[in-house]
Amino acid sequence: MAEKKVSNWREEATQLQLKGLTEVEIAKRIWREYQRCFKSEASCARTVQRYLRSAENPGNNSDSFEDVVEEMKGSIRKKAEREKKREAVLMKAATDIIIDGVLDAIQSREHYQPKRFEVVHNTNFSEETIVLDISDIQAGTYISKESTGGLNEYNWDVLERQFEALWYGLEEIVVRHKMVAPINNLHVHLLGDIVEGWDIFKGQTHSIDHDIAHQLLDITDLIADFLDKCRTLFDHIHVVGVPGNHGRIGRRGENLHYVNYDYIVYKFVEKLLKNYPEFTWQISESWWQVDTIYDYNFLMFHGDDIRGWQGIPYYGIDRAAKNYRELLELLGIRYDYMEIGHFHMPSELAGVTTEKFINGCWPGGTIYSMKGLGAANTPVQKLFAVHPRQGVTYRYPIRLVVDKDKLDVARRQERTKKGQ
Ligand SMILES: [Mn+2]
């Protein structure tokens, strides 16, 4: 006899119903078929068996199939509830054990007695050295209020006032900290882009108010005057310089990197101040310098070789820092801090062993940065202090605020000081 093919139990039942079989007869036939195919012992099998038993013994309060299913559901629900309860009891027990443990630990501890420390505070602070980063002046840059819709204004007059603001900022910070600890030395780190240049990009002549000769001569005077003033605050001033990209002479790569107006400005300033014994100079043809303050080495270069687009190229700077670490191993130099300019966004980036300082700029938002990137930065230069044992400690952004009223107040204070 050929195996009977069961495609669908419901269909089979419908067929039997059409033949006139009763509900019980259909259930029995299907059930036999089901057992023959699957020999099932599952709970559904028990439900069906129970139904068939009660249908065969009608005296025994015969339940309908639905009644039996409902009863089965009820017992499943009850079982689930029992499980849930058991789990809740377990959780509660576990929590109680932890709480008891903590309470025991607290109670077994001695009662806390304030120790009433008596500490004599050290006020004999060690000397610190001040570092002032100067870069990205881009002297000669001209930005009109009209062309930027009032977003920025920059010209030589603003630049001169910014030098005043830089001086007042430096003076206040140094005089303030001198009240606490000795400060004798200033290190000025010139990080490049001192001049704006005139043929770095196409049409640059439309955005300068000083030609390159006067950028060079006039900025030399401003820097020399500023450094000269610094002699009133410090016994010794060490000046370090690296060139930027704006001062390069010729197309990119046409001349060596030190064929650069920045380098010429540094050398001119050195010449102007050569008779003052307070100054020492570290200006060479190299594009990088390492300045040592106490036991800490400060590596500096301009930063234009680090590729970036919009904002701080974090990974590029990180990679440059690691590469320079290897490169300087050739000379047995290990550096602790890195200083760059170029990105116009004052920042400090932490690292495993090296902290990187990125200086701000003087012109603020240029037409290029604002129109192209919607970016503008407050003109800021970076100052920080170096402690003999702790390395760089406090750091200040000196905001080059040229607000007329604020500058007037500072000027008045200076006059009073001089007794004029
Ligand atoms: Mn630059």
How far does residue 375's CA lie from ligand 1's centre (Å)?
16
How far does residue 246's CA lie from ligand 1's centre (Å)?
6
Residue scoring higher pLDDT (162 or 110): 162
Model confidence pLDDT, tens digit, residues 51-87? 888 777 766 665 677 888 888 899 999 999 999 999 9
Model confidence pLDDT, tens digit, residues 23-39? 888 888 888 887 777 76
Q: Residue 21 above 50 pLDDT?
A: yes
Q: Residue 1 above 50 pLDDT?
A: no
Rounded CA gap, 334 and 324, in Å?
A: 10
Work out the burial of residue 7: count CB atoms within 10 Å of its CB; fewer than 13 is exposed, 13-18 middle, 19 or more buried. exposed
Adjacent-strand bridge partners of 248: 260
Q: Kindly report whether the global pTM for this prediction surpasses the value 0.85.
A: no
How far does residue 135's CA lie from ligand 1's centre (Å)?
9
Distances in Å between the alpha carbon of 330 and those of 83, 284, 327, 333, 334? 71, 19, 6, 8, 10
Lowest mean pLDDT among 15-19, 170-174, 309-313, 344-348: 309-313
% of the chain with per-residue pLDDT over 70: 94
Task: Give the CA diameter of the chain.
Answer: 128
How far does residue 260's CA lie from ligand 1's centre (Å)?
12
How far does residue 196's CA lie from ligand 1's centre (Å)?
9
Q: What is the mean pLDDT of residues 217-246?
A: 97
How far does residue 138's CA lie from ligand 1's centre (Å)?
9
Q: How many helices (H) and strands (E) does the chain have?
A: 10, 11
Q: What is the mean pLDDT of residues 313-327?
A: 94
Q: What is the mean pLDDT of residues 309-330?
A: 91
Work out the burial of residue 398: count CB atoms within 10 Å of its CB; fewer than 13 is exposed, 13-18 middle, 19 or more buried. buried
Closest Cα partner for 263 from 249, 283, 239, 288? 283
How far does residue 7's CA lie from ligand 1's centre (Å)?
81
Adjacent-strand bridge partners of 296: 293
Tell me whether strands 337-340 and 355-358 are parallel, antiparallel or unpaired. parallel
Angle, alpha carbons 320-324-326 (nearest 5°): 125
How far does residue 152's CA lie from ligand 1's centre (Å)?
20
Please report the pLDDT score of residue 351 as a whole number: 85
Work out the burial of residue 224: count CB atoms within 10 Å of its CB; fewer than 13 is exposed, 13-18 middle, 19 or more buried. middle
How far does residue 19's CA lie from ligand 1's centre (Å)?
96
Q: Which domains does the chain have, with CATH numbers?
A: 10-63 (no CATH), 128-418 (3.60.21.10)
Residue 308 neighbours by CB under 8 Å, 6+ apart = 316, 343
CB 133 within 8 A of CB 381: yes
Residue scoring higher pLDDT (211 or 163): 163
Please report the pLDDT score of residue 276 as a whole number: 97
How far does residue 185's CA lie from ligand 1's centre (Å)?
28
Host H or E run for residue 380:
strand 380-387
Q: Residue 125 above 60 pLDDT?
A: yes
Model confidence pLDDT, tens digit, residues 140-153? 999 999 989 989 99
Q: What is the mean pLDDT of residues 372-390?
A: 90
Rounded CA gap, 308 and 375, in Å?
A: 14
| pLDDT bucket at 2, cuts 50 / 70 / 90 | very low
Adjacent-strand bridge partners of 187: 131, 238
Distances in Å between the alpha carbon of 155 and those of 140, 142, 158? 7, 5, 5
Spell out which residues have Cβ within 5 A of ligand 1, the ion.
193, 244-245, 304, 342
Model confidence pLDDT, tens digit, residues 271-305? 999 999 999 999 999 999 999 999 999 999 999 99
Tell me what the pLDDT averaged over the chain comes to. Answer: 89
Q: Residue 222 above 90 pLDDT?
A: yes
Q: What is the mean pLDDT of residues 131-159?
A: 94
Distance between terminal CA atoms of the chain? 128
Task: Mark residue 391 as left, alpha or beta (left: phi above 0; alpha: psi -120 to 50; beta: remaining).
Answer: left
How far does residue 342's CA lie from ligand 1's centre (Å)?
4
Q: Residue 107 above 80 pLDDT?
A: yes
How far does residue 343's CA lie from ligand 1's centre (Å)?
7
How far does residue 304's CA lie from ligand 1's centre (Å)?
5
How far does residue 244's CA lie from ligand 1's centre (Å)?
5
Rounded CA gap, 27 and 21, in Å?
A: 10
How far does residue 81's CA lie from ligand 1's centre (Å)?
73
% of the chain with per-residue pLDDT over 90: 60
Residue 284 neighbours by CB under 8 Å, 6+ apart = none
Cβ–Cβ contacts within 10 Å for residue 236, how many? 14
